[in-house]
C-alpha cells in the first residue's frame, strides 16, 4: 500500500474537502508525486553490456515530500554532515513553537519559519558568548520539523551543537565541561521574548492569548552521528514512509508510529493511529513546505565556509590527545538494473526527453490564490 496510490484514488474527494486550504506548494507536491516514476517528461536510458537490449525508465519526481524519493539525498546529506563532525560531545537543543502561534504559522509559513531560525540562532550564539564555560564562537546545525510522531502539526527546530567554542582572539578551542550546556528555562524565556519582538516587527497579527511559559529542551546526546541520523529521518523521504501504512479498511487508514512514554523513558512502543482516508491525506500533506524554503541550515563553525577553521580545531584536539573515531562508510550507492533478457548488469546511458509523456492538467484545473492557507 502506498501513499501515492491513496492520493490518486481519493484526489477528487480530497480537493473537495480542503479546496480552500490547499496551497500552491501543496499542489505542486501532489502533481510531482502523482507523476513520480510513472509519467515523466524525461526518462533514464539503459543498455545491456551483454546483449543488445535497451530500456527507458521514468524518473523519480525528486520532490522532498515524496515518500518514494530522496533516499540517496538523505545519504549524501549524512555524509556531508559526518565530514563536519568534531571529536567532542554533542548536545541537542529543541525550540518549540507554542500551540497558540501555530495558526499564524499555517497562514504565513515562510515568515514564521524564517523568524524561528534567525531568532533561535541568535539566542544560541549569545548564550555561548556569555557562558563562563564557553565564552566564544560555536557552531550548530538546525533542522526544521513540522510534526510530532503522530504527524500532527507541531513546528519545532532541532539544533545539534558541538560541546565547545573557539576563541578567535586567543586562537584557542575551549571544551565544555560536564554534561550541561545551557539552562533550558533561561533559553525559553529569551526565545519567547525575542520571537514575539521579531513577529511584531513583521506586523503579523498575533492571538490575544499567548502563554508565558514556552518549551526549549537541551539534552546531552553523546557523539554527533546518532543525532544526525535522528534529524535525517524525515528530511528527504516524506513525512510518512509507505511501510508505516498498515491497513486500509472501510475507508479508514491506519498507520504505525513510535511513541516515547515520558521524558526520561528510554524505550519506544509502536502505536497505531486510524483516520478517514481524506483526513489522513490532509494530515500528511499539510506538512509540505513552501517552495524554496531551506529546512536545514548550518551556523557558525559548521557553515560551509568554515572548513579550514574546523580542520584547525581538529589539529588542536589531536595535539591535545583526543582520539578520533573512524568515519562510517560513505560510499555512494550506485544504481544497478539487471537486464530482463540475460540478467546481466545494464549501463546507464543518460537522461532523455520522453516524447510519449502525457502530463495531467491537475494544476490548471485547480488554480490557487496567493493567500491560500495551509
- Shared domain for 78 and 38, answered yes or no, is no
Domain ranges, residue 111: 71-239+288-319
In a domain, 93, yes or no: yes
In a domain, 13, yes or no: yes
- Shared domain for 42 and 107, answered yes or no, is no
- Shared domain for 204 and 139, answered yes or no, is yes
Using an 8 Å Cβ cutoff, are 188 and 216 in contact? yes
Tens digit of each residue's pLDDT (9 = 90 or more) over 121-173: 999 999 999 888 888 889 999 999 999 999 999 999 999 999 889 888 888 88
Using an 8 Å Cβ cutoff, are 45 and 352 in contact? yes
Give pLDDT, residue 362.
44
- Shared domain for 37 and 184, answered yes or no, is no
Q: What is the mean pLDDT of residues 344-362?
A: 64
In a domain, 277, yes or no: no
pLDDT: which is higher, 17 or 68: 17
**302 vs 81: CA distance, rounded Å:** 9
Using an 8 Å Cβ cutoff, are 47 and 338 in contact? no
Q: How far is CA 312 from CA 81, 173, 177, 299, 307, in A?
A: 17, 9, 21, 17, 9
In a domain, 199, yes or no: yes
In a domain, 268, yes or no: no
| Count of structural domains within the chain | 2
* Residue 121, phi then psi, degrees to nearest 5: -65, -40
Give pLDDT, residue 135.
83
Q: What is the mean pLDDT of residues 315-324?
A: 72
- Shared domain for 314 and 340, answered yes or no, is no
**Res. 368: pLDDT tops 60:** no
pLDDT category of residue 231 using cuts at 50, 70 and 90: confident
Any residues with CB less than 8 A from the CB of 258 and at least 6 apart, and which?
149, 268, 269, 270, 271
Q: What is the mean pLDDT of residues 59-75?
A: 75
**361 vs 353: CA distance, rounded Å:** 19
- Shared domain for 9 and 75, answered yes or no, is no
> Over pLDDT 90: what percentage of the chain?
42
**Res. 311: pLDDT tops 60:** yes
- Shared domain for 153 and 231, answered yes or no, is yes
Using an 8 Å Cβ cutoff, are 136 and 187 in contact? no
- Shared domain for 219 and 360, answered yes or no, is no
In a domain, 140, yes or no: yes
**317 vs 324: CA distance, rounded Å:** 9
Q: What is the largest CA-CA distance in the chain?
A: 72
In a domain, 212, yes or no: yes
pLDDT: which is higher, 36 or 98: 98
**Res. 95: pLDDT tops 60:** yes
- Shared domain for 12 and 139, answered yes or no, is no
Amino acid at each position: 500500500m502506498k501513499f501515492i496510490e491513496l492520493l490518486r484514488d481519493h484526489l477528487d474527494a480530497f480537493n473537495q474537502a480542503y479546496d480552500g486550504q490547499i496551497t500552491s506548494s501543496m499542489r505542486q507536491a501532489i502533481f510531482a508525486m502523482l507523476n513520480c516514476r510513472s509519467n515523466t517528461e524525461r526518462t533514464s536510458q539503459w543498455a545491456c553490456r551483454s546483449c543488445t537490449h535497451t530500456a527507458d525508465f521514468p524518473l523519480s519526481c525528486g520532490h522532498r515530500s515524496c515518500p518514494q524519493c530522496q533516499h540517496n539525498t538523505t545519504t549524501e546529506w549524512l555524509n556531508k554532515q559526518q565530514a563536519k563532525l568534531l571529536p567532542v560531545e554533542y548536545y541537542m537543543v529543541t525550540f518549540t513553537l507554542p500551540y497558540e502561534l501555530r495558526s499564524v504559522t499555517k497562514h504565513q509559513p515562510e515568515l514564521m519559519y524564517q523568524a524561528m531560525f534567525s531568532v533561535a540562532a541568535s539566542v544560541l550564539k549569545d548564550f555561548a558568548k556569555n557562558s563562563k564555560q564557553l565564552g566564544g564562537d560555536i557552531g550548530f546545525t538546525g533542522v526544521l520539523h513540522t510534526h510530532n510522531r503522530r504527524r500532527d502539526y507541531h513546528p519545532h527546530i532541532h539544533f545539534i551543537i558541538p560541546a565547545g567554542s573557539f576563541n578567535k582572539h586567543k586562537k584557542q578551542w575551549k571544551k565544555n565541561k560536564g554534561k550541561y550546556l545551557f539552562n533550558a528555562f533561561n533559553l525559553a524565556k529569551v526565545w519567547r521574548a525575542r520571537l514575539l519582538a521579531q513577529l511584531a516587527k513583521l506586523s503579523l497579527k498575533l492571538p490575544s492569548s499567548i502563554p508565558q511559559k514556552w518549551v526549549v529542551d537541551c539534552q546531552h546526546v553523546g557523539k554527533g552521528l546518532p543525532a544526525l541520523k535522528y534529524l535525517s529521518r524525515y528530511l528527504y523521504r516524506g513525512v510518512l514512509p509507505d511501510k508505516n501504512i498498515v491497513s486500509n479498511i472501510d475507508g479508514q487508514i491506519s498507520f504505525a508510529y513510535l511513541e516515547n512514554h515520558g521524558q526520561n523513558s528510554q524505550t519506544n512502543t509502536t502505536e497505531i493511529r486510524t483516520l478517514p482516508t481524506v483526513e489522513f491525506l490532509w494530515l500528511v500533506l499539510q506538512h509540505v513546505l513552501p517552495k524554496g524554503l531551506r529546512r536545514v541550515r548550518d551556523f557558525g563553525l559548521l557553515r560551509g565556509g568554515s572548513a579550514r577553521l574546523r580542520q584547525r580545531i581538529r589539529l588542536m584536539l589531536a595535539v591535545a590527545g583526543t582520539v578520533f573515531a573512524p568515519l562510517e562508510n560513505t560510499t555512494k550507492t550506485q544504481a544497478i538494473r539487471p537486464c530482463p533478457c540475460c540478467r546481466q548488469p545494464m549501463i546507464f546511458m543518460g537522461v532523455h526527453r520522453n516524447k510519449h509523456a502525457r502530463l495531467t492538467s491537475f494544476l490548471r484545473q485547480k488554480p490557487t490564490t496567493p493567500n491560500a492557507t495551509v
